Structure 1
Amino acid sequence: MFEYKNIFRGIAMGITDLVPGISGSTILMVLGVYERFIASLNGLTTKEWKKSLGFLIPLGIGVGSALLIFSKVIEWLLEHHQPVTMFLFLGLIIGIVPILIKEVDVKNSFKPIHYVLLVIAFILISLTSLIPNETGLMTNLSVGDYILLFVSGWLASAALILPGISGSLIFLLLGVYATVTSAIANIQISVILVVGSGIAIGLILTSKLVRYLFANYTIYTYAVMIGLVAGSIIVVYSNVEPGGSLIGCGITFIAGLLVAYLLGSIKK
């Protein structure tokens, strides 16, 4: 059955994936459809592939629409109002963490080992903010550049599935972020196809691992994912450029918290 609601979920997912440090799958967790998303990706290689497509196609339409419609908007906001925009997403992530903690009932289900895994995941993601990156636009692409873009898409697919790790962050760290966002904004078909192929293959393979972990190590997996999401707060904050309006940043930060609250309410 074609789930039209997923178009709107996909739009929310696509918008967040455009910002370095934020994962679209985090939004799916808040909306309560993350495990269905993973199951549907796995279902593409089974007899249930039609059911899986009914879930994934509208989600993909939403993501694609968001990338095409909002890529230029996000690009403009990050260029002209970067601090204010980043504080919006910072508020969103901080507002999401309590929702995830409540989702898994941390107080009653976590043991010491779970807290250890959460802290390790938090530290690992936080450390990515220290990695130098190159964001220059790649021109006159060679075969080697296309291979890099394919591999980048593959690695970014894992980030799309794991909450807290942004596909945009992976592109940023590999030095292809500007190239990919420019290709989307200007509909550069060759780059979109190469990166998209890497993402598609990676999604199917990574989803199998994540589903196995959810099925056999549920609380452990949630502990790691909460740590990843919390760690992305550090990553996003480290990307905030100086010079933003204190009042403007405060307003957008509160707006981000409000959006997180509304997303949690929608889930209920």
Structure 2
Amino acid sequence: MEWKNLYRGLIMGAADVVPGVSGGTIALLLGIYDRLITSINKVFSKEWKQQLGFLIPLGIGMVAAIFLLANGIKWLFNHYPRPTQFAFIGLIIGVMPLLLKKSDAKVNFKWQHLLLLLISAVVAAGLSLLQGDEAFIIAEIDLITYVFLFFSGFIASAAMILPGISGSLILLLVGAYGTVIHAVTELQLDILVVVALGIGLGVITMSKIVSYCLKQYPLMTYAVIIGLVIGSIYVVFPGWPIDGIDTIFSSLAFLLGLAFAYVLGRVEYQES
């Protein structure tokens, strides 16, 4: 078991709780994105034991983060919303140098790659224009609700695999976010199991698509990924600070997120 993935899973899980921030973006920062996609694809192959050694600690960390950090992150958003969002913006921007280096965009990208990048950025940013209600919780749970929550988990987890698209944001847009977060805090196991099944199927499906695209169209895939990450900055951006104190705290939070991304990226990519 690669137990180091516990802390990686904690960071990815914490990011997935935040609408607008993608666990896939954090996986890029941690230098494990390609291996994550490969491991998920090989779970049903002869090498499944080796993949589980990588995925199980990562999954434990993500689940632990969702249960342990959901309330803490919610508290930060309620009491210090702007600095918290600026910290995540710093984290997202900190991924960009790694992406540009990995794709060697300055040398390899042509006009078609730049066009794909622009379209992806606009699509990701456009998600912020859609409305969702975080407080909405489904009161009556029946068969139709379970089917809805299953497919909500499927769609959201498919989005989680893509850097720059937040699974939590997708849950928010389809109207399932409040119900899922409430189920986490109240330990409503029936809802959590149904959503988890949808998430599992969605992760497997999207990982196969991403794996194919990375192998067949690597530069175009990286152009799309970079565009999605850029567009996600607009989704998280809370507006400019309103006064001096807010400016100081937001600036410090942004620099902290940027520094964390830089240090983490340096450590992880040197070790990989």
Q: TM-score range, shorter-chain basis?
A: over 0.9
Distance apart, 1:179 and its partner CA = 1.4
RMSD, aligned CA: 1.7
Give, in whole Å, the separation in 2 of the partners of 1:182 and 1:128: 23
Superposed displacement of residue 87, structure 1: 1.3
Corresponding residue for 1:214? 214
Q: Which amino acid aligns with 1:159?
A: A
Equivalent position of 1:245 in the other structure: 246
* C-alpha distance in structure 1 between counterparts of 2:172 and 2:238, whole Å: 13
Instruction: Write the deviation string for residues 130-174 of structure 1: whole angstroms up to 9, x where unpaired.
Output: 112222122232322222111110001111110001110101111
Any residues of structure 2 matched to 1:84-103 within 5 Å, and which?
Answer: 84-103=83-102
Q: Is the 8 A contact 1:134 1:174 kept in 2?
A: no
Deviation at 1:186, TM superposition (A): 2.3
SS in 1 for 2:208: helix
Larger displacement relative to structure 2 (156-165 or 131-140): 131-140
1:11-48 CA deviation, whole Å, 9 max, x = no partner?
11001111111111111112211111001111112111
SS in 2 for 1:158: helix
Please name the residue that 2:53 is paired with.
54
- Looking at structure 2, the residues matched to 37 and 158 of structure 1 have their Cα atoms a distance apart, in angstroms, of 14
Which residue of structure 2 lines up, in the alignment, with residue 186 of structure 1? 186
Partner of 1:265: 266
TM-score normalized by the length of structure 2: 0.93
Q: Does 1:124 align with 2:123?
A: yes
C-alpha distance in 1 between matches for 2:262 and 2:229: 16
Contact 1:68–1:184 (Cα < 8 Å) also in 2: yes
The AA in structure 1 aligned to 2:250 is C
Counterpart for residue 68 of structure 1: 67
Where in structure 1 are there 5+ consecutive unaligned residues? none
- AA aligned to 2:207 is S
Give, in angstroms, the shift of residue 240 of structure 1.
Answer: 8.8
CA gap 1:241/1:67 in 2 versus in 1, 3 angstroms:
farther
AA matched with 1:56:
L
Residue 18 of structure 1: aligned partner: 17
CA distance in 2, matches of 1:76, 1:142: 31
The residue that corresponds to 1:148 in the other structure is: 148
Partner-residue secondary structure (3-state), 2:160: helix
Residue identity in the other structure for 2:153: G
CA distances 1:203-248 after superposition (whole Å, capped 9, x unpaired): 1111111111111111111110010011000111158997882221
Contact 1:137–1:178 under 8 Å retained in 2: yes
Q: Report the AA paired with residue 79 of structure 1.
A: N
SS at match of 1:133: coil
The 3-state SS of whatever aligns with 1:245 is helix
Partner of 1:203: 203
User: 1:167 — aligned with what?
Assistant: 167
Q: What residue identity is the alignment partner of 2:249?
A: G
In the alignment, the residues of structure 2 paired with residue 241 and residue 21 of structure 1 have an alpha-carbon distance, to the nearest angstrom, of: 19
8 A Cα contact 1:82 1:240, kept in partner: no
Q: 1:129 to 1:99 in 2, by over 3 A?
A: same
Distance of 1:214 and 1:239 partners within structure 2: 35
Q: Distance in 2 between matches of 1:7 and 1:225?
A: 25
Instruction: Give the distance between the partners of 1:219 and 1:260, measured in 2 at CA.
Output: 23
Q: State the Cα distance separating 1:254 from its structure 2 match.
A: 1.1
Q: What residue ranges of structure 2 are gaps of 5+ in the alignment?
A: none
Query: How much has 1:98 moved relative to structure 2?
Result: 2.2
Whole-Å Cα distance in 2 between the matches of residues 240 and 78 of structure 1?
Answer: 16
1:87-120 deviation line (CA, Å, top 9, x unaligned): 1111111222222112211111111111111011
Amino acid at match of 1:201: L
Kept in 1: contact 2:82–2:238 (CA 8 A)? no
